[in-house]
Amino acid sequence: MARTGENIYKRKDGRWEGRYIKSYSADGKAKYGYVYSKTYAEVKMKQSVAIAESRNKIVQVSELHLFSEIAEKWLQNIKLNCKISTYNKYRNTYEKQLKGVFGKYPISKISGEMIDNFTATMLTIGRTDGCGYSKKSVQEFCNVIKQVFSYAEENYGILPQFSKKKLCIRKNQSEIKAITPSDIQSLCKYLLTDTTLYKAGVLISLYSGIRIGELCALQWKDADNFSVA
């Protein structure tokens, strides 16, 4: 049993094991240390202490790692664990939207301002025809950025300089349009001309307020008890 995102696991011998980044190799690969205890609470405390101590000793090498380098390693890592269509989608997003913008920068130096500028550009003039992408598309771009940073954090201990909330694109709340009396009159005129079962169903829903599932479940025996809202 593991505690998601905490690198804490319960071993077969009943003890709890906590993993933390102890140091880094010359090429920036993480080297892990381990702490053990009989309870989750104790191993969590030991892990926290070990993490704090190791951070004081680790020589930061994050400036050596460009966004392009981390992104390529992340793509290689997921290639065998996801559908080829998903991999190709991530690869295309990186190559077409992200590489030219972030690729040359050390991943540790990418700021919130850079993220804001990227999303604003994508939403307004990001496409090749000078128009902006939809919010859904830009959110997909941001999801790839988020995954690259999560990979950098887990494998290299590189923390982003911005809140991950910046990678969430807010959607405008859709305006609910109510049907007008004149619309109802026009609709009823159409529904009462050459009426079919389908048209009758729309009429019943219009004047009773029942949902489509309730409409489909109606039987003839329900007609006697049917009332108009």
65 DSSP assignment? -
β-strand partners of 36: 17
Q: What is the pTM of this model?
A: 0.54
What is the share, in percent, of the chain residues with pLDDT greater than 90?
41
Tell me how far apart the alpha carbons of residues 94 and 113 are, in angstroms, rounded to a whole number: 19
Q: Domain containing 220: what range?
A: 181-225
Q: What pLDDT score does 149 carry? A: 95
Q: In 3D, which of 112, 109, 74, 107 has the Cα closest to residue 93? A: 74
User: Are 161 and 192 contained in the same domain?
Assistant: no
β-strand partners of 19: 34
Name the phi and psi angles at 24, rounded to 5. Answer: -125, 145
Confirm whether 173 is domain-assigned.
no
Number of domains in the chain: 3
Question: Among residues 25, 40, 59, which one ends one of the domains?
Answer: 59
Q: In 3D, which of 183, 118, 185 has the Cα closest to residue 146? A: 118
Token readout for 217 is 């479940």
Q: Which tens digits make up the pLDDT trace of 163-205?
A: 888 899 877 655 667 788 888 889 898 988 888 888 888 888 8
Confirm whether 174 is domain-assigned.
no
What mean pLDDT is predicted for residues 74-96? 95
36 DSSP assignment? E
Confirm whether 159 is domain-assigned.
yes
User: Are 69 and 126 contained in the same domain?
Assistant: yes
Token readout for 38 is 């009989």
